[in-house]
Amino acid sequence: MNDLPRPRTRRKDTRPAELLAAALDCFVEKGFAATRMEDIARRAGVAKGTFYLYFPSKDAVFEALVRETLLPRIATLEQSATMAGLGAEAKLRAILAMLGQVLADPKLVAIPKLVLAEAGNFPDMARFYRQEVIARGQALLNGLFREGVEKGEFRPLPDLDIMTRLFMGPVVLTALWQTTFAPVEQTPMPIDRVLSTHADLFLTAIKAPTGTGGAP
On average, the pLDDT of the chain sits at: 89
**For 55-98, what is each residue's pLDDT tens digit?**
999 999 999 999 999 999 999 999 999 988 899 999 999 999 99
**For 122-153, what is each residue's pLDDT tens digit?**
999 999 999 999 999 999 999 999 999 999 99
Please check the confidence at residue 12 and state whether its pLDDT lies above 70.
Answer: no
Global pTM reads: 0.85
pLDDT category, 6, cuts 50, 70, 90?
very low
Please check the confidence at residue 5 and state whether its pLDDT lies above 50.
Answer: no
> What pLDDT does 9 receive?
46
State the burial class of residue 189 (Cβ atoms within 10 Å of its Cβ: 0-12, 13-18, 19+). middle
Please check the confidence at residue 16 and state whether its pLDDT lies above 80.
Answer: yes
pLDDT category, 4, cuts 50, 70, 90?
very low
Higher local confidence (pLDDT), 213 or 208: 208
Domains observed in the chain = 10-56 (1.10.10.60), 70-206 (1.10.357.10)
Average pLDDT over residues 173-197: 91
- In SS3 terms, the chain reads as CCCCCCCCCCCHHHHHHHHHHHHHHHHHHHCCCCCCHHHHHHHHCCCHHHHHHHCCCHHHHHHHHHHHHHHHHHHHHHHHCCCCCCCHHHHHHHHHHHHHHHHCCHHHHHHHHHHHHHCCCCHHHHHHHHHHHHHHHHHHHHHHHHHHHHCCCECCCCCHHHHHHHHHHHHHHHHHHHHHCHHHCCCCCCHHHHHHHHHHHHHHHHECCCCCCCCC
> What pLDDT does 188 receive?
85
List residues bridging with 207 in a β-sheet.
Answer: 154
Q: Which of 73, 100, 95 is nearest to 82 (CA)?
A: 95
> What pLDDT does 7 receive?
40
Average pLDDT over residues 12-31: 86
> What pLDDT does 215 receive?
42
